[in-house]
Structure 1
């Protein structure tokens, strides 16, 4: 079916929408974030490793008293590291 002349005129008059261009500022992480993230991760891993190597035998008295809470402390540091890494840009 042929198109009417009115349809052709209306299509020609419509302008294509172009959204306004805004300057996007890049997100910058705070300076303390990366050192804190690495510190928590390394300390967490070292705490667990130290507990398994020396703490179980009682060579480090305070670690032997804490028992399995040492795992919670170590994994807590690792979890904080992961949470901080989600904020890093």
Structure 2
């Protein structure tokens, strides 16, 4: 059976979960989020441009894993962005 409008309004006023507001993310969070994505991209690009001489020469192909790992931290942080 359908509820009346007054009953629905009364339930909304009592429900604390319905009244919670999402606060915007702080500026430092956004800076770190975009910074890690850019840093990971620069890590991989540097590896390819320098033909495996930089950022860390002795680990070879693991530089790609490190670069994508750093970028993924930034991408995982975007799940909280609203």
| TM over 0.5, shorter chain | yes
Give secondary structure in 1 for the equivalent of 2:45.
Answer: helix
Which structure has more helix as a fraction of its residues?
2
- C-alpha distance in 1 between matches for 2:51 and 2:28: 31
In structure 1, the partner of 2:78 is 85
In structure 1, the partner of 2:8 is 18
The answer for unaligned runs of 5 or more in structure 1 is: 1-14
In structure 2, the partner of 1:32 is 28
In structure 2, the partner of 1:10 is none
Higher relative contact order (CA 8 A, sep 6+): 1
Give secondary structure in 2 for the equivalent of 1:18.
Answer: helix
Please give the TM-score of this superposition, normalised by the length of structure 2: 0.72
Larger radius of gyration: 1
Q: How many residues are aligned here? A: 72
The answer for unaligned runs of 5 or more in structure 2 is: 14-18
- Per-residue deviation, 1:55: 4.3
In structure 2, the partner of 1:69 is 62
Please give the TM-score of this superposition, normalised by the length of structure 1: 0.67
